[in-house]
A and B are shown apart, each in its own frame.
Chain A
Amino acid sequence: MEKLLLLAAWIGLTIGGAVLAFAWPQARYRRIRYRVDDHGLTIRRGIFWRSETFVPRTRVQHTDVVQGPLQRLFELATLIVHTAGTQDASVGLSGLSYGTALPIRDFLIGGDEEEGGV
């Protein structure tokens, strides 16, 4: 009897895991939004723990556009914005298309030219 119970549990877990594996990224994708404007970059994300993070354009230290091998296959990229902060030292946005990530990066960096800064 216990063997059947154990089997049922295993099957349940596997099915549950598979469903989660499909549903979770979809849910996560639906919840990610971003906005790029003159003020800076805003990213909204999170299913249960939701957050809206804003990086002012003037606080962007440098940016990276990163593509792993799988991402290259699908022409996707991850945009990483580096700030001088600590918890948000790098703000990442993955799932952008490569063609979109580059102009965003250029735009975010370009604003610093008048600053003189460092």
Chain B
Amino acid sequence: MSEERRLHPLSWLFATAQSVRGLIVPLIVLLLASGGSNYELLAAVFVIPATASAVLQYIVFRYQLAEDELIVRDGVLTRRERHIPYARIQNIDLVRNPLHRMLNVALVRIETASGDKPEAVIRVLSIDAIDDMRSCVFRDRRDAASQAPATTQHPRADIVLQLGSPELMRLGIVSNKGLVVVSAALGLLWQQGQWWDPEDLVEPYLDSEWVAETLSNTPVATGAIALALVVLGAILVLRVLSIAWFLVQLHGFTLRRRDGNIRAEYGLFTKISRSIPASRVQSLTAIESPLHRWFGRQSIEIRTVGGGGDDPSIGPENAAPTAKSQWLAPMVATARVPELLKEVLPQVEIEAVTWTPIAKRAWLRILRRWLVVVGGGALLVAVLSSSWTAVLVWSASGSLISLAHARLYAKHAGYSLMPWGIAFKSGWWDRTTKIVRYSKIQTIERGETPFDRRTGMASVRIDTAGAERIGHTIDIPFLDADVATAVAQRISDESSQHAFRW
């Protein structure tokens, strides 16, 4: 067990592919088409040093499965020897694209509990080598687990959640990843435009007299209907693309309990196996749009910190502390949410949550904000159309919608202070519920804008760990001033008592 091991012999191939990932399309263009512009030639120039460094890396990299630790030795110019105690290793994650799977290898990411970067990124190891590593690293944990009488080793029993294709299709309908597919396709088209002009396709139609005549002869009503149909068609196509996206990206999504952790495994072409340690979860968000409600489902995302993010090309030295938002359950039946949460975050008891609404008069504040927008819009409409009826229609409908929205929002927004953390729900059309444990709260801020002071309200903002500047705070607005003080105080006290661990 303790002999020195090396990377898989073909790892240089994967390292090279990773380095020139961005240049793949021009490289293919260079290979297939004769000539091509200088851009493609430059790309070829980059491949050579990339391959050379990849081969060097293969020659130089060594690792060892010692008695209590994993030892990694690498580095071409600067040699580095890293000792990682097995006890500190939290999870071993895998990424396998079709090439990996063909050759029975995988990219390995080893993450530890403390710190925010992956401890080691190994590109690539054979599946057998990974199994050896897993059995060594998790040996003690497995021994401990097998002593617990209740757990069986039956593989099926460990599945927490599994999404079949129908669920993924629902997810596609509910989300809008179609735009991602379209922009990727457009990007590819633009790249190809280097030697094939897409304009050639469109020009004949632009200049045709038939088009001009038809456009001027169609009555407005038909035109409007035609436009509506086109828009509807576009939305439909986008949703179909969205369904296809999820069917490929999250194929076979399974949440499984393994080695004392929850793992998410998914992917059709590129298979990803990623651990979700409860301690890394900073916050959890449950999303319910109207389409979700129609299906009786929710989407649950979690924000985790650590592990260097999704880009396997970044080794530990270059990884910034990343926070990523990842799926915990892309689609889950609303009824099953409590048990799912209990599996992943045992302290969180979602059923015990009792909601306290925000201040009742919050609706006035929200209405005021929206009326300003409606007013601005009315001004615009007045300038553009110079018709009083248009302005009137806009103002009336805008005000009514704002009123409905304001009252509904104030009715649905609420918070809850539980023994384990806080929960905050907002939104009536798209409903979001955010959950943060006290141990993950970093700072607490009670804020008052001048408008707050005038209406005797205040807000409470909770900050959690992360890397980006946005998206990691929970903002509870429109609380009564004294309630805000009490809430901020309570959260502060509880957070002080719950230690923070990475």
Using a CB–CB cutoff of 8 Å, the interface residues on chain A facing chain B are 39-40, 46, 48-59, 83-88, 91, 115, 117-118
Is B469 in the interface zone, CB < 8 Å from A?
yes
Is B143 in the interface zone, CB < 8 Å from A?
no
CB distance from A59 to the nearest CB of B (A): 5
Is B1 in the interface zone, CB < 8 Å from A?
no
- Interface CB pairs A-B, < 8 A, 27: A39-B492, A39-B493, A40-B492, A48-B450, A49-B447, A49-B448, A50-B447, A50-B448, A52-B445, A52-B446, A52-B447, A53-B445, A54-B492, A55-B442, A56-B443, A56-B495, A84-B305, A84-B465, A84-B502, A85-B442, A85-B463, A85-B465, A86-B463, A86-B469, A88-B442, A88-B445, A118-B114
Q: Which of B478-495 contact A (CB under 8 A)?
A: 488, 492-493, 495
**Given A40-B496, A50-B448, A58-B496 in contact, is the A117-B443 Cβ separation under 8 Å?**
no
**Given A52-B488, A117-B114 in contact, is the A86-B466 Cβ separation under 8 Å?**
yes
Q: A53 to B450, alpha carbons, bound, how many Å?
A: 17
Contacting pair A86 B464 (CB below 8 A) = yes
**Given A49-B449, A50-B447, A53-B443 in contact, is the A86-B495 Cβ separation under 8 Å?**
no
Q: Which 9 A-B pairs have the closest CB atoms?
A: A85-B442, A85-B463, A84-B465, A88-B443, A86-B472, A51-B447, A56-B496, A86-B466, A50-B448
Is B467 in the interface zone, CB < 8 Å from A?
yes
Contacting pair B114 A58 (CB below 8 A) = no
Contacting pair A55 B499 (CB below 8 A) = no
Cβ contacts under 8 Å, B444 to chain A:
53-54
CB distance from A42 to the nearest CB of B (A): 8
Q: A26 to B499, alpha carbons, bound, how many Å?
A: 38
Closest to A50 in B: B448
Q: A39 to B47, alpha carbons, bound, how many Å?
A: 56
Using a CB–CB cutoff of 8 Å, the interface residues on chain B facing chain A are 114-115, 305, 323, 441-450, 453, 461, 463-473, 488, 492-493, 495-496, 499-502
Q: Given A55-B442, A84-B500, A86-B467, output 8 extra A-B contacts at Cβ < 8 Å.
A: A49-B448, A84-B442, A85-B443, A85-B466, A86-B465, A86-B469, A88-B463, A118-B114
Cβ contacts under 8 Å, A84 to chain B:
305, 442, 465, 500, 502
Closest to B305 in A: A84
Counting chain B CB atoms within 10 Å of each CB, which of A39, A46, A51, A84 scores highest? A84
Closest to A83 in B: B442
Q: A55 to B488, alpha carbons, bound, how many Å?
A: 12
Contacting pair B445 A51 (CB below 8 A) = yes
Contacting pair A83 B445 (CB below 8 A) = no
Q: A86 to B463, alpha carbons, bound, how many Å?
A: 7
Q: A52 to B470, alpha carbons, bound, how many Å?
A: 20
Q: A49 to B458, alpha carbons, bound, how many Å?
A: 11
Closest to B468 in A: A86
Counting chain B CB atoms within 10 Å of each CB, which of A49, A55, A59, A118 scores highest? A59
Cβ contacts under 8 Å, B450 to chain A:
48-49
Partner of B502, one of A53, A55, A118: A118
Closest to A41 in B: B443
Q: A55 to B441, alpha carbons, bound, how many Å?
A: 10
Cβ contacts under 8 Å, A59 to chain B:
441-443, 495, 500
Cβ contacts under 8 Å, B502 to chain A:
84, 118
CB distance from B424 to the nearest CB of A (A): 16
Cβ contacts under 8 Å, B469 to chain A:
86-87
Closest to B452 in A: A50
Closest to B494 in A: A56
Cβ contacts under 8 Å, B488 to chain A:
52, 54
Closest to B475 in A: A87
CB distance from B307 to the nearest CB of A (A): 15
Partner of B472, one of A46, A48, A55, A85: A85
Q: A91 to B493, alpha carbons, bound, how many Å?
A: 19
Cβ contacts under 8 Å, B441 to chain A:
59
Q: A39 to B468, alpha carbons, bound, how many Å?
A: 27
Cβ contacts under 8 Å, B499 to chain A:
58, 115, 117
Contacting pair B449 A57 (CB below 8 A) = no
Q: A58 to B442, alpha carbons, bound, how many Å?
A: 9
CB distance from B483 to the nearest CB of A (A): 14
Contacting pair B496 A39 (CB below 8 A) = yes
Q: A49 to B278, alpha carbons, bound, how many Å?
A: 37
Closest to A48 in B: B450
Cβ contacts under 8 Å, A52 to chain B:
445-447, 488
Contacting pair A85 B464 (CB below 8 A) = yes
Cβ contacts under 8 Å, B461 to chain A:
87
Q: A59 to B282, alpha carbons, bound, how many Å?
A: 14
Q: A115 to B114, alpha carbons, bound, how many Å?
A: 13
Counting chain B CB atoms within 10 Å of each CB, which of A40, A53, A54, A57 scores highest? A54
Cβ contacts under 8 Å, A55 to chain B:
442-443
Contacting pair A87 B115 (CB below 8 A) = no
Q: A118 to B114, alpha carbons, bound, how many Å?
A: 6
